[in-house]
Structure 1
């Protein structure tokens, strides 16, 4: 099936998805990875040879956790392949997967790998037609337990105490359980105001995985993209919504990506994983991600994170945002564009630059596998 070639929209930096302009997901006998295509342009950036192809527009949607990271990558990509426009709509992981399986976007961002039990793997396979969808880890986004508490610049929490806060079992900041973790600190008796994601979110999924795995039975709900009914608080849409809620509410607390906590100048709790309080840094996150188990096969690079890790220096509340892609099945122009952009996104220079905006670069061995998987997209 031949797809329509789209004209590049000058200056657009990937903020709005225009579904009617999306490149359709159709089978093709062409392989955009072939070298020597007459109309393609090869560019070297970040130590990788990038084939820009004929240009066009790529639309993507999903994880708001990676919003700041992917927008930074899009901005620098414009200098590498100026004839390719990448639009990214940060509607949340659930919406991104829905749009991907419906064929409305070329790739999706999701803070959780495709879930076979929920039919996502089968639906993605049907969309791609010519091959399975792959989960390609791209952004390591630490989840901060972010708070707004005047006079408290440092705060230590552990999984059990955090679970009790988000279940409504601890309701004031000077609760004995919090005080025991913060010996010598002056904690006010202010009421705790919890904010949670009201939309389906991979951030919620990963945060509840942590609570379920590490709280010693305090958190009894299974993980999921939706906030459980046993949880308390006020729901806000997307990462920006919960961040704004805490920023404007004295005594507020939420779970949100590190980048949003930093952007909104929120307090960030140190997390005691059993080996002592651990500050959220790029190094402590990398230590945690390095313990992940590979659960995908071949070029499907889905990872299983160890949320209950007690390794010294490992910050335990992390998520990995995957770019969900067709291993084969897009037309030649779309395939070339996806490969070019993701190769740029995964390059060492781009990954290292993400640290400045609140993300951690992929561990070197994971990054090597990611670049190999992108190259294998046909």
Structure 2
């Protein structure tokens, strides 16, 4: 296929915002109408390289598959080769220049910002959120449905202060359940994990008196058994009677394991698509500009029976500039597709699509990439 000079320009209108995707690339005829109302995409999202490399978050593995499907429908032959190695490894591999972009459930930390800009030829790296997901507390108890926990009891379980399911604290939260004397085995991520980071951030904000262990991709609770990746957590919970672990809702649903309800202080909230969406709608941004780090503390503090507040955002970490033209065009095309048509089926996989205010900022950021 012949290469075009960078003159073909397509626009992607995302609820009032516009992304321009342009650059060298293979020409594909015609524009496609996407599943997002009012969104159209033209052939320039198919520009640049046919194959991109990425790795990182296991939480977004299924979402990446859906994004890939959407991109290949629009642009036959286009794909991202994604390895679910964990958020921490993904960020390190991106900074080292081994992959085109990273998937991460946590944004770049302060000591990574400078090296990431150096990797991007002196241009800052940006954190671009593409999907939200509720974190499920999955457990292994026979014939015990709908266990309720609050942030304080979660913190005490994952620091070893609550060691059995019939603990009086858990009994008070579950007056209608006959909880067994089974010992509790906390299951945590043994790898550097954005899910761990988000879980610990939630406990820090929602249970500050019981969780003083800090945050980060390494688990700090000091008790339990470690497991690698989200799939590893599911396997470990299923293999250990009395176990409890944290994992994305999509993995829990796929495995058919139960997960807890959340007592937020003013009612018990089941984890459903609706309650997770209600929580995500309250998200805010940490700062202005195109590095789209989100502030989830606005979500953690919600109370009432309508919002399941234990959620995470998962990002693509990309160079704002400095890619070679073919790679840059492909990265922009992939992001633009993922932020539009790629959102259509996310809820079926247990994710929460981007709210309008986030889609608008994502569109602006993609448009600003050089």
TM-score using structure 1 length:
0.87
Alignment partner, residue 184 of structure 1: 176
1:138, 1:346 within 8 Å by CA — same for their partners in 2?
yes
TM-score using structure 2 length:
0.89
Equivalent of 1:40, from 10, 14, 27?
A: 27
Question: How many Å separate the matches in 2 of 1:277 and 1:232?
Answer: 27
User: Aligned pair count?
Assistant: 347
Alignment partner, residue 343 of structure 1: 336
Residues 121-180 of structure 1 show CA distances to partners (whole Å, capped at 9, x for unaligned) of: 111111111521111111101111111111111111001111111111111111111111
Alignment partner, residue 72 of structure 1: 66
Alignment partner, residue 112 of structure 1: 106
Structure 2, unaligned stretches of length 5 or more?
Answer: 10-19
2:23, 2:48 within 8 Å by CA — same for their partners in 1?
no
Residues 226-279 of structure 1 show CA distances to partners (whole Å, capped at 9, x for unaligned) of: 011x43110010111011111222211001111111111111101111121111
1:40, 1:54 within 8 Å by CA — same for their partners in 2?
no
Alignment partner, residue 315 of structure 1: 308
Secondary structure of the residue aligned to 1:268 is: coil
Equivalent of 1:268, from 259, 273, 276?
A: 259
Give the stretch that moved more between structures: 40-49 or 141-150.
40-49
Distance 1:31 1:95, change over 3 A: farther
Equivalent of 2:95, from 95, 101, 108?
A: 101
Equivalent of 2:166, from 154, 157, 174?
A: 174
Alignment partner, residue 11 of structure 1: none
Secondary structure of the residue aligned to 2:94 is: helix
1:143, 1:257 within 8 Å by CA — same for their partners in 2?
yes
After superposition, residues 114-263 of structure 1 pair within 5 angstroms as 114-116=108-110, 119-228=111-220, 230-263=221-254
1:286, 1:362 within 8 Å by CA — same for their partners in 2?
no
Distance 1:72 1:36, change over 3 A: closer
Alignment partner, residue 325 of structure 1: 318
Distance 1:278 1:292, change over 3 A: same
Q: Quote the offset at 1:202 in angstroms.
A: 0.5
1:55, 1:337 within 8 Å by CA — same for their partners in 2?
yes
Distance 1:290 1:136, change over 3 A: same
Alignment partner, residue 85 of structure 2: 91
1:55, 1:333 within 8 Å by CA — same for their partners in 2?
yes
